[in-house]
Homo-oligomer: A and B are copies of this chain.
Amino acid sequence: MANYARIKSTGKPKVVVIGGGFGGLELVKALSTAQVQVILIDKQNYHTFQPLMYQVATSGVEADSIIHPFRKVFEKQENFFFRLAEVERVDTEQQLVETSIGLVRYDYLVIATGATTNYFGDAQMEQNAISMKSVTDAITLRNTILCNFENALQLDDPEQLNSLMDYVIVGGGPTGVELAGALSELKLHVFPKDYPELDFQSMDIHLIQSGGELLKGMSPEASQKSLEFLEKMGVQVLLNRRVKSYDGHTVTLTSGETLTTRNLIWAAGVTGNPVSGLKPESLLRGNRLQVDEYNRVAGYDNVFAIGDIAAMVTPENPHGHPMLAQPAIQQGKLLGKNLPRLMAGQPLEPFHYHDQGAMATIGRNKAVADLKLFGKEIKTQGFLAWLIWMFIHLISIVGFRNRLMVMSNWFWNYFTYDSGNRLIIGNKQENIPIKETITHKTVL
């Protein structure tokens, strides 16, 4: 007999959802009154509000405030079952998901596994760069930034000091721009108070963007203004450059220029994070699963994919929708309506993306927003955009308690020009400066 995970059957059709990101969460919610058994499988016991992860990395908010345990979110949803497990593969013949806790049977499978960092096959980069895809990544980056300064105190060689205090951020999308802005604010307002022994004039923040503009996909006004904001804040933006290689110490650009840093943050791209066991032909470029207008994976009747992992090819989106929260949320919601219809033999509603615009924040009172409201396009940059950004993010965070905590933190940071979470938490061995690591020329 095969080794099944223990999940008591309710006798209702089983909808198994792999991944509790934006898409998975909305889908589960939308199924709350459906006559199904919803089984969510995730390798974390919490949902992460990814848009604020860069603030965890830069000591702006606490990690706990942007993550929310699934069991808490769905406490009152009776058809909801959660399993903390790693998915190994799916067996679409037998309708089984193979997981670290055993086999899970499904009637309908929804793949909502999102995306992962794309190093474009550069193994050396993958080894040496810092990524920003999970809360653990964000805390690691926070620890690294703070440990760097503690280490810097022990150095007198200017080259070593520079390499420790300088930052290179690769990728001029929202993550790169927001991280560069937040780091620059710390450099201006916070670090000099904490480390009066260090000279922060020499702390360089480089932002490297392959194209000619930041925030590609947003309006020219937003791109232009974000560039101005960053440059005013002292960020050195290098446009039309690509990184050729990074050995943990020297960044070589395709232009031939080199930069020296131990801290390269890779925010240059993501790729789909598919599960194994599906037909290879259902995978499109970017490792995304080809789905029809009902988010059904090509070649299957009862396997669906939503969010970043799904590529719904439309005339406007020949490679699928942008890999953002909004398409995931909207697809999750619609699939939650369509699945009961499918079971009842009713016609399904096709997906139409309602693009509500995009925004990014660069610093205090500085954000850019391209909004689409009631059919109108509104472009704004600066203080108003910043207020809108805060408002939208606050109402989007799951859980009233988290909203309260993030808001308190923001108020605190705003009025004190300070941020509270400058804590190095984690493994002792890794964090304490030791003589050997600080004279060694590669990553700490």
A63 within 8 A of B: yes
How distant is A122 from chain B, measured CB to nearest CB, in Å? 23
Stretch in contact with the other chain, from A149-157, A226-234, A281-289: A149-157
CB contacts (< 8 Å) of A408 on chain B: these are 404-405, 408
Instruction: Report how far A53 CA is from B189 CA in the complex, Å.
Output: 31
A343 at the interface (CB under 8 A from B): no
In angstroms, how far is the closest chain B Cβ from the Cβ of A388? 26
Answer whether residue A136 sits at the interface, using C-beta atoms and an 8 A cutoff. Answer: yes
Q: Out of B83, B425, B432, which one reaches A43, CB within 8 Å?
A: B432
Q: Complex Cα distance A209/B280, Å? A: 62
A84 to B432, CA, bound (A): 6
Which of A65-83 touch B at CB < 8 Å?
Answer: 65, 67, 69, 71-72, 75, 81, 83
* Also in contact, A422 and B72, with CB within 8 A (given A8-B197, A435-B3): yes
Q: Which residues of B contact A51 (CB under 8 A)?
A: none
**How many chain copies?**
2
Contact B424 A195 (CB under 8 A): no
- Fill in one digit per residue for A135-153: 1 if any B CB lies within 8 Å of its CB, else 0: 1100100000011001001
Task: Report whether B45 and A146 are in contact in the complex, using a CB–CB cutoff of 8 Å.
Answer: yes
Shortest Cβ distance from A46 into B: residue: B423
A5 CA / B178 CA spacing, docked (Å) = 36
Known: A64-B62, A426-B136. A154 touches B101 (CB 8 A): yes
Per the bound structure, the CA–CA distance linking A44 and B101 in Å amounts to 37
Instruction: Encode A88-107 as 1/0 by CB contact (under 8 A) with B.
Output: 00000000000011100000
Q: Which residue of B lies closest to A134 (CB)?
A: B428
A430 → chain B, closest Cβ, in Å? 12
CB distance B423 to A64 under 8 Å?
A: yes
> In this assembly, does A341 line the interface, its C-beta being within 8 Å of a C-beta of chain B?
no
Query: Do B67 and A423 have beta carbons less than 8 Å apart?
Result: yes
With a CB–CB cut-off of 8 A, which chain B residues contact A84?
Answer: 147, 150, 424, 431-433
Cα-based distance from A44 to B143 in the complex (angstroms): 11
Shortest CB distance A146–B (Å): 6
Considering only CB atoms, which chain B residue lies closest to A147 in the complex? B84
Bound-state CA distance A240–B300 (Å) is: 65
User: Which chain B positions have C-beta within 8 A of A45?
Assistant: 146, 150, 422-424
Which residue, A71, A100, A408, A434, has most C-beta atoms of chain B within 10 A? A71
Asked if A217 is at the interface of the complex by the 8 Å CB criterion, the answer is no
Does A193 sit within 8 A of B, measured CB to CB? yes
| B433 touching A64, Cβ below 8 Å | no
- A433 close to B100 (CB less than 8 A): yes
Q: Does the CB pair A6–B425 fall under 8 Å?
A: no
* A424-B44, A425-B135 given; A195·B83 CB < 8 A: no
**Complex Cα spacing A290 to B150, Å:** 33
Point out which of A3, A147, A194, A195 has the most chain B C-beta atoms below 10 A from its C-beta. Answer: A194
Distance to closest chain B CB from A392 (angstroms): 23
Contacts of A139 in B (CB 8 A): 425
In the complex, A412 has a CB within 8 A of chain B = yes
Contact of A85 among B100, B404, B433 (CB under 8 A): B433
Other CB < 8 Å A-B pairs besides A71-B422, A405-B405, 7 of them?
A: A45-B150, A64-B64, A71-B194, A72-B418, A72-B422, A81-B197, A404-B408
Residues in chain A within 8 A of chain B (CB atoms): 3, 5-8, 43-46, 62-65, 67, 69, 71-72, 75, 81, 83-86, 100-102, 135-136, 139, 146-147, 150, 153-156, 193-195, 197, 399, 401-402, 404-405, 408, 412, 418, 420-426, 428, 431-435, 438
